[in-house]
Amino acid sequence: MSDTPAEIQIVPMATNHLAPVLKIEKTVFRDSWTASSFLEVIRMSDKSWVALCGEGVAGYLVTQWVLDEVHILNLAVTVPMQRQGIAAKLMQFLIDLCGNSGMRDLFLEVRVSNLPAISLYQRFGFRQLTLRKSYYPDGEDAWVMHSRLETHDESAHEANELNERGREG
DSSP character at residue 5: P
Active-site annotation, residues: 109, 121
Half-sphere exposure in the Cβ direction for 9 (13 Å, CA): 9
Report the side by side order of strands in the sheet with 56-66: 8-12, 48-53, 56-66, 69-77, 105-111, 142-148, 127-132
Neighbours of 45 (CB within 10 A): 15
